[in-house]
A and B are shown apart, each in its own frame.
Chain A
Amino acid sequence: MGEPVDSKVQAFVARSLGLYGQAPEYLLQHLIAVQQQFGWVPPTAVDALAAALDVAHAQVRGAVAFYAFLHDQPRGDFDILFSDNITDRMLGNQRLVGLLAERLGLGLDAPRADGRVTIGLTSCTGMCDQGPALLVNGQAVTALTAARVDRIADLVEEGVPLERWPGAFFRVEDNIRRRGLLLSNPATDGASLRRLLDGGADAALAELERSGLRGRGGAGFTTALKWRFCREAEGGDRTVPRFVVCNADEGEPGTFKDRVLLTSYTDLVFEGMTLCAGVIGARLGFLYLRGEYRYLVPHLESVLARRRAEGLLGKDILGQQGFDFDIAIHLGAGAYICGEESALIESLEGKRGVTRKRPPFPVISGYQDRPTVVNNVETFLAAARVVQWGGYWLRGEGTDQSAGSKILSVSGDCARPGIYEYPFGTPVHRVLTDCGAEEVQAVQVSGAAGTTLAPAEFDRLLAFEDLPTAGSFMIFDRSRDLLDLVRNFAAFFAHESCGFCTPCRVGTALLRNLVEKVAAGQASAHDLQELRDIGAVMRQTSYCGLGHTAPNHVLNTLDKFPAIYRRRLRSADYSPSFDLDAALASARALTGRDGVADHVEEEA
């Protein structure tokens, strides 16, 4: 976009400050706005924001360097990021990236000389059931084909603004294939809030307790307990502010159910948040929405506005004096770690999304160090229904330790990818049958951080006591090389590690490099042991869940699919850590030498 004139940047920042205010917590939101407007965050904006918000320059720059969607160098007028989850790859995204790059005449990540366009890759954008997908200036484009990519190249060359691109490009389908307890009915009119007002917070909590509802974001903490802790924090002092946060970061590769809930069950999600606010005594809530879903903002804002108009949000909700609560939408900017609740809170406060020390847990010390409930989108929805319809309604389905149902995001090799809701305790093979998966070689349950299952395990049950899952369910048939999965996930974690602690910061990079070494046919048996050893250290010593789970896919596949590694190994028991001959390439170029003696043979 060229160098924006300083005064223009300053004027824009001033407008943004007018819109969001000067609280340092809004730093990230300002930065996102600047990035959207100018295609990068120019130094003038850094100066203006540091001054206006009274934060250190280094903090502003640190945030820009942390979030993948913020840049301290200009991107193109059209900034195109291809979703690069393994499911996108299986649908051929790499060919499409190559196609577009060729058509537009540029490489990855550097703007074209005329500043028109940049092309890059990004972590899973949550469109796995309708990929390959991309983001153009933050807007999601789905169902890419060669023809669509060709058309995009034309639009970019012609400089057609996004508003005039074909609407079909931006269509995002719900693809709900199986409805259960939660999905069978999207409607609500504030019923759970009325129950709360009639029965009081204790009765609502009792209903939640009875239901056995556990968090749907992965860790499975009992929701009633979380809300009660928060309500009773600070000795129950009602003058201490409390906050409700809906975790809509949905960054786990292969999951997209929260997107569908936010699209078509929006009221129920907001109602669950409002209910929580009523129970814990919060006046402000945040929906932390991953940047990839920014296309949903107008819709979400309109639902919020309608609910305010209906008296379901805002002052004196449902006429109850003092029941005041409102919800603000905060955007993320490309950081998987911000789904981790304490990193999310840091990000809500405008900072780099680095995990906090726990304890204290957010229920005691969260946003602005105040008691805060963080729940997943699906959890809020379920909580609203539990209070509306009673704990037994949920309890009646599922297993002893896993009450109710789970919404799955099914993608990969199957005839009918999309959203499936099952009672907890459903075996994996049932899902495979329903979605039309055949010749299945492996299933990745609960995302890149989850478990790689071999066919012998397909009778295992989706439930906290067996296979806990946040809902990602990716299927790989026998035509796939599972090392592609490993490479994709290893690169994902190396890209997404927040960098705070040593074993994850360095370990994810070591694993990625070793996996690439295997893929290049340059590894030996020794390297497989290294993968195991590094993985074990990461599991045991990392600071947060990201590092604990990042080696899972490597360790699982080493155990269950050793052939994908073995068939590429050198026969030697040890092999160099780098490509010896390639390491001579620059010297060959500089000296013009290219004889036999100027090359090294690999040893057997």
Chain B
Amino acid sequence: MLSREVSDVSAKPRVATASLCGCFGCHTSLLDIDERILQLVDLVDFDRSPLTDIKTVGDCDLGLIEGGVANTENLEVLRAFRRHCRTLVAVGACAVNGGVPAMRNALALRECLEESYVRGVGVYHPGIPRDPEIPLLLDRVHPIHEVVKVDYVLPGCPPSADTLWTFLTAWLSGQPIAFPYTQIHYD
């Protein structure tokens, strides 16, 4: 079972989070821990995260990834997290198995893009965008464990605030991670 390995015992563990191809629901769930967030802020330092606005991930003890891998940017961020985080956690259905975005996998990429940018309702200037600034799409949306090694998995769409809290407190205290029945669900 995974236990916390912190580089510098005196420092607070650093935690980074990112949302790849997800809906920010898992992050919202994290905020749903309500007043416990104050405890959390006392216990950890946040590195890159939508909660901090730090844009690049530094060396961290824990990385939480929401969302699957759908484009080149997702790939880059995920790999950077894997390089910098001692423990990487797949948070939520999309990170775990692709989730709802992976429902596009039933279609070829051309169909998806044409539906959105060519034939779709309300499209004014039909044409698949080619701007090099836009991350390229992968032909399918993949769960993150198909790209990098994942150390722990928190299923749910999203995992409930309690599930996240159970995980975080166990991880912080170095206890084995165990959930009550109602905290593990895939939806």
Residues of A bordering B, CB below 8 Å: 526, 573-574, 576-578, 580, 583-588, 590-593, 595, 597-598, 600, 603
Contacts and interface: CB of A to CB of B under 8 A. Distances in A.
B167 to A, nearest CB: 22
A586 B110 contact: yes
B119 to A, nearest CB: 14
A170 B137 CA distance: 52
Contact of B148 (A574, A586, A600): A574
Contacts of B129: 591
Contacts of A583: 138-140
Interface string B133-171: 000111110100011110000000000000000000000
A588 B136 contact: yes
Given A587-B109, A587-B136, A580 B130 contact: no
Contacts of B149: 526, 573-574
Contacts of B137: 584, 587
Given A583-B139, A584-B72, A600-B72, A591 B128 contact: yes
A598 B147 contact: no
A592 B130 contact: yes
Contacts of B75: 580, 600
Contacts of B147: 576-577, 580
Contacts of B108: 586
A586 B146 contact: no
Contacts of B130: 591-593
B152 to A, nearest CB: 15
21 contacts: A526-B149, A573-B149, A574-B149, A576-B148, A577-B142, A577-B146, A577-B147, A578-B142, A580-B138, A584-B72, A584-B138, A586-B108, A586-B110, A586-B139, A587-B137, A587-B138, A590-B109, A590-B128, A593-B136, A597-B132, A600-B72
Interface of B: 72, 75, 79, 108-110, 113, 128-130, 132, 136-140, 142, 146-149
Nearest to B143: A577
Nearest to B71: A587
B136 A584 contact: yes
A588 B132 CA distance: 11
B146 A576 contact: yes
A578 B139 CA distance: 11
B149 to A, nearest CB: 4
Given A583-B138, A584-B72, 11 more contacts: A526-B149, A573-B149, A574-B149, A577-B142, A577-B147, A584-B137, A586-B139, A588-B136, A590-B113, A598-B136, A603-B79
Among B136, B142, B149: residue with most chain A CB under 10 A: B136
Contacts of B140: 583
B126 to A, nearest CB: 14
A600 B77 CA distance: 13
Contacts of A580: 75, 138, 147
A592 B128 CA distance: 10
B146 to A, nearest CB: 4
Contacts of A591: 128-130, 136
Nearest to A588: B136
A597 B135 CA distance: 9
A574 B132 CA distance: 30
A598 B137 CA distance: 10
Contacts of A603: 79
Given A526-B149, A574-B148, A586-B108, A595 B138 contact: no
A155 B110 CA distance: 41
Nearest to B134: A591
A597 B132 CA distance: 8
A573 B148 CA distance: 10
Contacts of A573: 149
Contacts of A600: 72, 75
Report the 6 A-B pairs with minimum CB-CB distance, sorted nearest first. A574-B149, A577-B146, A587-B136, A583-B138, A591-B130, A586-B109
A587 B139 contact: yes
A598 B72 CA distance: 8
A25 B21 CA distance: 53
Nearest to A574: B149
B110 A590 contact: yes
A428 B109 CA distance: 54
Contacts of A576: 146-148
A575 B138 CA distance: 17
B57 to A, nearest CB: 16
B90 to A, nearest CB: 14
Contacts of B132: 593, 595, 597-598
Nearest to B110: A590
A594 to B, nearest CB: 10
A351 B118 CA distance: 48
A578 B146 contact: yes
Contacts of A592: 130
Contacts of B136: 584, 587-588, 591, 593, 598
Nearest to A580: B75
A543 B142 CA distance: 31
Contacts of A526: 149
Nearest to B135: A597
B125 to A, nearest CB: 15
A371 to B, nearest CB: 49
Nearest to A577: B146
B102 to A, nearest CB: 13
B146 A597 contact: no
A600 to B, nearest CB: 6
Contacts of A597: 72, 132
Given A591-B128, A591-B130, A603-B79, A585 B146 contact: no
A577 B138 CA distance: 14
Contacts of A588: 136
A598 B146 CA distance: 20
A513 to B, nearest CB: 12
Given A590-B113, A592-B130, A593-B130, A585 B72 contact: no
A215 to B, nearest CB: 45
A598 B75 CA distance: 12
Nearest to B130: A591
A584 B70 CA distance: 10
Contacts of A574: 148-149
A526 B140 CA distance: 23
A292 to B, nearest CB: 37
A230 to B, nearest CB: 50
A381 B56 CA distance: 76
B8 to A, nearest CB: 25
Contacts of B128: 590-591
Contacts of A595: 132
Nearest to A592: B130
Contacts of B146: 576-578
Nearest to B108: A586
A280 to B, nearest CB: 54
A577 B149 CA distance: 11
Nearest to B75: A600
A239 to B, nearest CB: 57
A486 to B, nearest CB: 23
Nearest to B114: A590
